[in-house]
Structure 1
Amino acid sequence: MIYDIRHVTTYSYETQVSFARCSLRLVPHSGDGQELISHSVEIRPKPAERTTRRDFFGTLTESVLIESAHRNLRIDSRSRVSIARQAPARDAASPPWEGVRDIAFEASSLGPTSPVGYVFASALVPVLQPVTNYASESFPPGGGILSGAAALMRRIRTDFRYDPKATVISTPLKEVFEKRHGVCQDFAHVMIAGLRGLGLPAAYVSGYLRTIPPPGQPRLQGADATHAWVAVWCGAELGWIGFDPTNDLVVASDHIILAIGRDFSDVSPVDGVIAGARKQKLNVAVDVLLVE
């Protein structure tokens, strides 16, 4: 499948901003069944400086410096990607989860795809005993890693309510877990915390969902915005498999990967610092259109 993606981020400031430095992670990922065909970003006001680099996780990150005074900042990202990804069956044969855990801890590589980098607590995903206990119910002794991750994903989809007004980016994981309300970012963090509590490698994935579902299927939660899900390392043979707890889906060709990290703080599409405004209003609009 080929998708056209438009991702427009607009900041409106209460007072004039004299300086802004932003980091943009808006270039879709290449790999894992996905190929970037084209990409462009238009920024207004025009930056004085733009530089790019790849971060530790392989995400192409653009640093932008704006020195002209402004009350509005508009970042218009457009991409075309090709997706050819098959989701494994939830009940497909897979290694026992205890074996996957043990192999992950024995990994000798410390590169961005090494599982050992995703088994420990991170800035936004502490390992909490109540969350570990919750996850353990999906992983009986000797159970397959695929079936366990799918069961945990389904339970989060059932037990937690999607509510865009319930949380903000800074809402602690403990509060999200106790209230059982939140958005895709929260559900991904809860699933990651539970898996890591069991010693299983789990990464945070940001990206997009196709805006229009296939005929006869319901609209997915998180469309028309950036989305988040979880990648679970399922052993050397299966590798990293995506699980979307917001929609109870094993990730296939409807999900478009933007960036991968330990949690949201590693993959935020736009962040940075400004000088001169007390309050700001953020608006994000995303369109994902199927080309063929």
Structure 2
Amino acid sequence: MAVFKIVHITKYQYNWPIKESINEIRLFPHHFENQDVLQYQLLITQNPEVIFSEDYHGNRVGNFNILEAHTEMSIESRMLVRVNHSLKIPEVDHATVSDLKNEKEKSIALLRFSYPEIISKQDEIDQILAAIGGQNKTIIALAQACSEYIYTHFTYTKGITTIHTTLDEILEIKKGVCQDFAHVLLQLMRTLGIPARYVSGYICPNQSGMRGEGATHAWVEVYSPVQGWLGIDPTNNIWTMDNHVKLSVGLNFSDCTPVKGTFKGLAKQTLSVCVSIGYEDGSHFEEINDVQLQEVSTEVQEQLDYIDNLYQQQVQQQQ
């Protein structure tokens, strides 16, 4: 059992004023049998009203608008969370894929989590599974084998992928970060017919050398008819422990995006994310990441360059 104090700050900045910013956030730690939310506070620029709801996957969702013109938006999520993953022990679970048949027949949700994505490189997924060998293996053994394969054959490299990188591209370069490895493991599990879902959250190992520590993290949960959903982290090749804090679940990253939205205006935006984690022993860890966003189109870039040139001319005339 462990208790963490986490502060997650998402900061958008715009080089020109924008308005009517409409946003959807999933920054609320999950209440489930292994995790208790002891305290929670949400702070947003201009203190807009936040409308709360629950999505299809049971995640708490917040929606808010900032209508006035602004050049910066900050979303600060503060939480105190207690985690106890030892309530579930994957090693004692001997269920097999065939044991899932009745479960999937009763649940549309489990069926949906069992469908692999349609990709061009599905043959590579099939080759990986053939190399691993699935005959007579339990769900747990298959998940462990696939996780170990990703950990061994894919290189953890920051900055080489973005949230828009496709599964085909990840299989091509065999490099990426936690989000990419989670998507590969999802494809492997679902190809086997095992329900699997994407998990967004944090890993808080107090600087123990695990990959992805101190920042937003992603892993996978596989479904067993014996114990239900069990978390496995292919980035570190481990089953989730007391230092994995869960925010949201879904089919893929798109269902779990911490912040997404739109705005009116012509401006370039930058995004930085700061995650600060406080531990029970009084130690503290903080990491700041500048997030690589999708590049604007050539047409939009030309308009931005035109505005910048006009502004520079006005400044020169005033001097």
TM-score strictly above 0.5? yes
Q: Kindly provide the amino acid, as one letter, of the partner of residue 171 in structure 1.
A: T
Distance 2:188 2:31 in 1: 28
- Say if 2:205 and 2:243, in contact at 8 Å, map to a contact too: no
Residue matched to 2:7: 6
Distance 1:199 1:136 in 2: 15
**Taking structure 1 as reference, are residues 240 and 136 closer, same or farther at Cα in structure 2, changes over 3 Å only?**
farther
Distance 1:127 1:242 in 2: 26
Q: Kindly provide the amino acid, as one letter, of the partner of residue 254 in structure 2.
A: S
Q: Kindly provide the amino acid, as one letter, of the partner of residue 109 in structure 1.
A: S
Unaligned runs of 5+ in 2: 282-319
| Per-residue deviation, 1:96 | 2.3
Q: Does 1:224 align with 2:214?
A: yes
Distance 2:112 2:262 in 1: 28
Distance 2:234 2:122 in 1: 19
Residue matched to 2:69: 69
Residue matched to 1:274: 263
| Per-residue deviation, 1:32 | 3.4
**Taking structure 1 as reference, are residues 178 and 90 closer, same or farther at Cα in structure 2, changes over 3 Å only?**
farther
Q: Does 1:193 align with 2:187?
A: yes
Q: Let me know the Cα RMSD of the aligned residues.
A: 2.0
Residue matched to 1:160: 154
Question: Quick check: which has more Rg, 1 or 2?
Answer: 2
Residue matched to 2:200: 206
Residue matched to 1:97: 97
Distance 2:176 2:87 in 1: 26
Q: Kindly provide the amino acid, as one letter, of the partner of residue 276 in structure 1.
A: G
Unaligned runs of 5+ in 1: none
Distance 1:239 1:139 in 2: 24
- Say if 1:203 and 1:230, in contact at 8 Å, map to a contact too: yes
Matches within 5 A, 1:224-263: 224-234=214-224, 236-263=225-252
| Per-residue deviation, 1:93 | 4.6
Distance 1:140 1:117 in 2: 22
**Taking structure 1 as reference, are residues 179 and 21 closer, same or farther at Cα in structure 2, changes over 3 Å only?**
same
User: Which digits, 9 at most, give the CA deviation of each residue in 1:172-211, with x for residues without a partner?
Assistant: 1011011100110000000001111111111000000115
Distance 1:92 1:159 in 2: 27
Distance 1:189 1:46 in 2: 35
Residues paired across the two proteins, number: 280
- Say if 2:90 and 2:230, in contact at 8 Å, map to a contact too: no
| Greater fraction helix | 2
Q: Does 1:109 align with 2:98?
A: no
User: Which digits, 9 at most, give the CA deviation of each residue in 1:56-115, with x for residues without a partner?
Assistant: 111110001101111111111001111111176665451223433x34432x233xxx42
**Taking structure 1 as reference, are residues 122 and 141 closer, same or farther at Cα in structure 2, changes over 3 Å only?**
closer
Corresponding residue to 1:129 among 111, 123, 126: 123
Q: Kindly provide the amino acid, as one letter, of the partner of residue 247 in structure 1.
A: N
- Say if 1:122 and 1:263, in contact at 8 Å, map to a contact too: no
- Say if 1:208 and 1:288, in contact at 8 Å, map to a contact too: no
Q: Normalising to structure 2: TM-score of the pair? A: 0.82
Secondary structure of the equivalent of 2:50? Answer: strand
Distance 1:104 1:137 in 2: 28
Q: Normalising to structure 1: TM-score of the pair? A: 0.89
